Structures are given as structure tokens and as C-alpha cells.
């Protein structure tokens, strides 16, 4: 009976792992980031519409849309480079894309981020501005 380690090739194993990592990062993560860009575009459009109506949530929507667009563009760059260089994304075996899953994922992330950003801009930042405005007359009186 032969031992299993007699037929083990570290070079072949490492090559297989690197091919799998390349395929996952340049195809699956690219798809994930493209859906993030789509959600970012929706957030930016909503921000523009809210801004035209003078709604106070326009700034948080724009901030989150901008952050998501920047993050997604950076993460999608390797896949985009591969797509332009080779003309196709690398094969990943049995991979069925589910856009609903990706959009739901990004929607959950954005809902949390919008809550945090709204809290910051509408409560924390507003309190800091009102404290600064209240402190400025005291400085003027002290200097006189």
C-alpha cells in the first residue's frame, strides 16, 4: 500500500489555491462590488431628489452613497482590470449569481450606515454647531 504523501505536490496544490483565490476575487467579489455600485447610484439619486425638495436627509444619503461608491470602485478594480485585459472574468466553477441576494446585502449595510450617519449629522453635529454658536458670543464679550 502506497503512502498518500508520496503523491502530494505542494507546487500543484499552491497553484490550485492561487487559481481559486484569483477566480473568487476577480469574479465573485467583482459581482459583489458592481451591485454595491448600483445601490450607491440609487442612494445618490435619492439624495439629489431629497436635496431638490430641501429635505434634511439629503446629506446622509449623499454621504453613504459616496462612501459606498468609492469602496465598491476600489474593490471592483481588480475584476475590471481582468475583464478589460482578458475580455472575460475568470471561471469560478459552479457559481450562480443571485442579484437579489447582493442587493439585499447592500441594502442592509446601507440601512445601518444611513441610521448612523443620520444620527451623526442631525443630532451630534447639530449639537456641536449649536454649542459653537453659543460659545462665540461669550468670546466676543470677553475680548471687549
User: Would you state the pLDDT for residue 81?
Assistant: 92
Instruction: State the residue range of the domain holding 92.
Output: 4-143
Q: Worst-scoring range by mean pLDDT, 30-34, 91-95, 140-144? A: 140-144
33: burial class by Cβ within 10 Å (0-12, 13-18, 19+)?
A: buried
Alpha carbon of residue 24 to chain centroid:
17
User: Would you state the pLDDT for residue 139?
Assistant: 58
27 pLDDT tier (thresholds 50, 70, 90)? confident
- Whether 142 has a pLDDT exceeding 70, the answer reads no
pLDDT: which is higher, 67 or 6 = 67
Total domains in the chain come to 1
Answer for the pair 29, 37: CB distance below 8 angstroms, yes or no. no
Residue pointed to by grid coordinates 439629489: 48
- Whether 94 has a pLDDT exceeding 90, the answer reads no
80: burial class by Cβ within 10 Å (0-12, 13-18, 19+)?
A: middle
Amino acid at each position: 500500500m502506497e503512502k498518500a504523501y508520496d503523491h502530494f505536490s505542494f507546487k500543484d496544490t499552491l497553484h490550485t489555491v492561487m487559481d481559486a483565490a484569483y477566480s473568487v476575487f476577480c469574479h465573485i467579489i467583482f459581482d459583489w462590488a458592481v451591485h454595491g455600485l448600483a445601490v450607491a447610484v440609487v442612494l445618490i439619486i435619492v439624495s439629489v431628489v431629497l436635496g431638490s425638495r430641501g429635505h434634511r436627509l439629503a446629506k446622509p444619503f449623499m454621504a453613504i452613497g459616496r462612501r459606498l461608491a468609492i469602496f465598491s470602485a476600489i474593490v471592483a478594480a481588480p475584476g475590471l482590470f481582468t475583464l478589460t485585459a482578458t475580455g472575460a472574468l475568470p471561471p469560478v466553477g459552479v457559481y450562480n449569481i443571485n442579484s437579489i441576494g447582493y442587493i439585499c446585502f447592500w441594502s442592509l449595510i446601507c440601512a445601518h450606515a444611513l441610521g448612523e450617519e443620520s444620527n451623526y449629522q442631525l443630532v451630534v453635529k447639530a449639537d456641536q454647531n449649536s454649542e459653537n454658536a453659543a460659545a462665540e458670543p461669550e468670546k466676543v464679550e470677553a475680548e471687549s
